[in-house]
Structure 1
Amino acid sequence: MRNSSMSISDSEWKIMKILWDSPHITLKEIAGKAGGSGWSYTTVRTLVNRLAEKGAIAADKSAANTFRYYPVAVEEECQMKEVKSLLRKVFDGSASMLVSALAKDSDLSEREREELRSIIDKMDK
C-alpha cells in the first residue's frame, strides 16, 4: 500500500472492493456496480476522487476522454490494517479476545468454526 497511514472509510471500502474485483473500469461502470448502495453518480465520483487523492486508486488516462480506475492499494494490506485497528480499538490489542469473541458467536456456521480451529491449529505448528 502506497500510504500505510491511509484510512479508508466504510463507503470507500465499497468502492475499493469493486475495483479489487474489477480493475480498470470507468466511473460509470463503478457507479453501476455500486447501484445497490443507493448512491448517486455524484456520490460515487466524490468517493473515487477521495480514494485517488489518498493514493489508494489511480486512473489510466490513455483512452480519449475516458479514465479507467484501478486499485493501487493492496487488498490484503488494507484488510490487515483494518484488523489491527479493530484489535486496538475494540479488543485492547488482544488477538485472543477477538478469537474468543468469534468463537462465542452463535451465528457462526459449523464450517466457519472448523476454519477457526484450523487456523489456530496451523499457528501452533
Structure 2
Amino acid sequence: MTILVTAHGEMTIGEANTLESTAPDGVLAAVFEDDGETGYFYAIDESAAGNPIRDALHIYNIEDIADRHKPCDVKVGWSEDNKKCVLLINGYPHGVFDFQNKNGYCRTGFPPAVNAEWSVAGHEWDYRVDEFF
C-alpha cells in the first residue's frame, strides 16, 4: 500500500510543537504533539459524540532522547483506504492508528487504553502494522 502524506514538518524534540493531519477523505485526523516534555500521537474522530480523541500513544520522553537538539523530519501519512495512519520520525514509524479495528500501536506500548472502545489489549507494537502501508 502507498502512504499518502498529509502533514510534514521539521521539529526539534523538546520544543513545543504540533503537527495536525487530516485523512485525504476529510473524515478522520491525527495529531502529533511535543509539549516540551513528552511526545504523543492522538487519533481524532470529529464525528464522534463528546470527546473527539479516540486514542493516545506515548511516543517519547524528551529526557530519554540523546540527540534531541537535532532537527527531525516528521510526517503523518494515511493508507489508501483512509482508515490507518502512521507517524514517521526521520522515516521510521513510531506510532500507527488503525481506525477500522480501533487500535493504536507504538514503540513504547504506553499508555493503557484511554477509552473502553480502543486498544483494549494495549498499545504494544505489532510488526504486522507494516502491512498496513
Please report the TM-score for the alignment, with normalisation by the length of structure 2: 0.23
Structure ID, larger Rg? 1
